[in-house]
Amino acid sequence: MLGSSIDVSQLFEALYQTLLMVSISLVLGALIGVPLGILLVITKKGGIWEQTFIYHLLNPIINVLRSLPFIILLIAIVPFTKLIVGTSIGTEAAIVPLTVYVAPYIARLVENSLLEVNSGVIEASQAMGASPFQIIRYFLLPEALGSLILALTTSIIGLIGATAMAGAVGGGGIGDLALAYGYQRFDTMVIIITVVILVVMVQLIQSLGNLLARKVRKN
């Protein structure tokens, strides 16, 4: 026991569930969000592959999804979640709304990172006859890599906060533990333990992200 109504095994199970939700939804969200962010940059007016129809289609969709608080999004896409995993309760089910939540978030962060790249780099690559794909692969992404690392770090931290809210609908993880034992059973010690764990996780991830970004920028 930990001086509360939970034991160490429950704590580790909740931590595992949180890490599972964060890692899978981050990978899936990045697979969707990174290409979307690149598309936003290259298809906008004056972009290297100007396609304003695509830009004006994607931009409002991303804005709408980003404007929804996660708890509302979680409930709003319950039918979609059931369609994908067959249930709306549990860790696997929570991964679906987490992915939908983080993908547009990553897209916007990637867009901002790429827009920071000096326009002279793009002009030089175009002068050398590089294709849009080559510009993205060899100029845009390498130049923005440090900023992209920080963007993904921010996304991970946002996901950790979202997983805590997923506990409200039985998503499992640290948030579920805090709600079921800390809030509903008035166990202050559980609240303290879960808060400490979340704070430590965020600090470690932010520090690692900052370190990687600094190394990339130095090189």
Q: What is the pLDDT of residue 166?
A: 82
**Of 85, 74, 52, nearest to 176 (Cα)?**
74
CATH label, 8-218, candidates 3.90.550.10, 1.10.3720.10, 1.20.1300.10, 3.50.30.20: 1.10.3720.10
**Of 91, 88, 60, 90, nearest to 74 (Cα)?**
88
pLDDT band at 171 (very low <50, low <70, confident <90, very high): confident
Residues 6+ apart with CB under 8 A from 207: none
Average pLDDT, whole number, for the chain? 91
Indicate whether this model's pTM tops 0.95. Answer: no
Average pLDDT over residues 163-178: 82
**Of 171, 142, 162, nearest to 14 (Cα)?**
171
Mind listing the pLDDT tens digit for each residue in 37-79?
A: 999 999 999 999 999 999 999 999 999 999 999 989 998 999 9
pLDDT band at 26 (very low <50, low <70, confident <90, very high): very high
Please indicate whether residue 177 or residue 96 has the higher confidence score (pLDDT): 96
Cα separation of the two ends of the chain: 48
Mind listing the pLDDT tens digit for each residue in 102-160?
A: 999 999 999 999 999 999 999 999 999 999 999 999 999 999 999 999 999 999 999 99
* Alpha-carbon span 115 to 195, nearest angstrom: 36
* Alpha-carbon span 212 to 123, nearest angstrom: 28
